[in-house]
């Protein structure tokens, strides 16, 4: 009996060590994705083509790490058959890494628009775009902090911020469409800026999805599409 208990304890200890490694890898992926979105926005505001290309080149590392973590989550579930809170953690992690990979995709999309804008006659970037980008990046930061601290209250605050991002998305696009209507030369750069704004809005959605997974992980209830503070 004592030997049985010892064996179970060793198995459980191995599971928690492997789970800790998965969490460390998730935070590394989070760092890569957050850096990509920050750099892509900086490239927009400075018209920095070299920085935009670095963001695009870095997407492969994000994709590779996401796939590696996903495989490890599947392995841990199959090998250890966790239940309750341990299973929720792994399921939440597997969802969160998908959202982080998609944030990397949005950063790449934004970087591609930088290269488009550089080929066009210079026009001012919409004055609210930087503010929207800052809000979105803060949502990503807070959603990841909520995960690392298992803080569902902070996660719910992230969900509330998504309304502000959606409002900025609508207002900026309306302004750009109005400008494009009155000035044909504004059409192509306006389209690029609209694509950038839409990708930022998607990043806000991904941060919200991460926050929803944190609430599920901590509280054991699904709050998809109804996460509140």
pLDDT tens sequence across 187-207 = 999 999 999 999 999 999 999
Which of 121, 144, 126, 154 has its CA nearest to residue 41? Answer: 126
Secondary structure (3-state) at 185: helix
Q: Provide the pLDDT confidence category of residue 10 given band limits of 50, 70 and 90.
A: confident
Q: Which residue has the higher pLDDT, 184 or 3?
A: 184
pLDDT averaged over every residue in the chain = 93
Q: What is the reported pLDDT for 126?
A: 96
Burial 174-213 (b: 16+ CB within 10 A, else e): ebbeebbeeeeebebbbbbbbebbebbbbbbbbbbbbbbb
Report residue 106: phi and psi, to 5°. Answer: -65, -40
Q: At what angle do helices 187-219 and 2-46 cross, to 10 degrees?
A: 160
CA separation for the pair 198, 221 (Å, rounded): 30
Tell me what pLDDT residue 67 has.
Answer: 97
Is the CB of residue 208 less than 8 Å from the CB of residue 227?
A: yes
- Provide the pLDDT for residue 61: 98
Four-point Cα dihedral 92, 142, 63, 43, nearest 10: 160
Domain residue ranges of the chain, discontinuous segments joined by +: 2-219
**Number of Cβ atoms within 10 Å of the Cβ of 133:** 24
Q: What is the pLDDT of residue 95?
A: 96
Domain 2-219 of CATH type 2.40.50.140: no
Average pLDDT over residues 133-159: 95
Task: Note the pLDDT tens digit of each residue in 44-87.
Answer: 999 999 999 999 999 999 999 999 999 999 999 998 888 888 89
Rounded to two decimals, the pTM is 0.92
Angle at 127 (CA atoms; ends 175, 210), nearest 5 degrees:
90
What is residue 14's three-state secondary structure?
A: helix
């Amino acid at each position: 009996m004592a030997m049985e208990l010892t064996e179970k304890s060793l198995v459980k200890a191995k599971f928690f060590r492997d789970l800790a490694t998965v969490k460390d890898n998730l935070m590394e992926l989070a760092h890569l994705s957050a850096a990509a979105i920050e750099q892509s926005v900086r490239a927009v505001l400075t018209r920095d083509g070299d920085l935009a290309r670095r963001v695009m080149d870095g997407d492969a590392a994000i994709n590779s790490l996401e796939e590696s973590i996903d495989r490890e989550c599947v392995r841990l579930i199959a090998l250890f058959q966790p239940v309750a809170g341990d299973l929720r953690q792994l399921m939440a992690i597997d969802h969160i890494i998908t959202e982080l990979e998609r944030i990397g995709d949005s950063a790449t999309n934004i970087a591609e628009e930088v290269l488009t804008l550089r080929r066009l006659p210079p026009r001012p970037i919409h004055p609210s775009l930087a503010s929207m980008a800052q809000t979105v990046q803060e949502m990503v930061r807070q959603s990841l902090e909520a995960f690392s601290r298992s803080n569902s209250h902070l996660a719910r605050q992230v969900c509330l911020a998504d309304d502000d991002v959606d409002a900025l998305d609508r207002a900026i696009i309306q302004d750009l469409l109005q400008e494009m209507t009155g000035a044909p030369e504004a059409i192509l750069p306006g389209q690029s800026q609209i694509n950038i704004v839409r990708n930022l809005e998607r990043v806000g959605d991904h941060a919200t999805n991460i926050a929803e997974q944190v609430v599920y992980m901590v509280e054991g209830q699904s709050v998809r599409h109804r996460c509140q503070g």
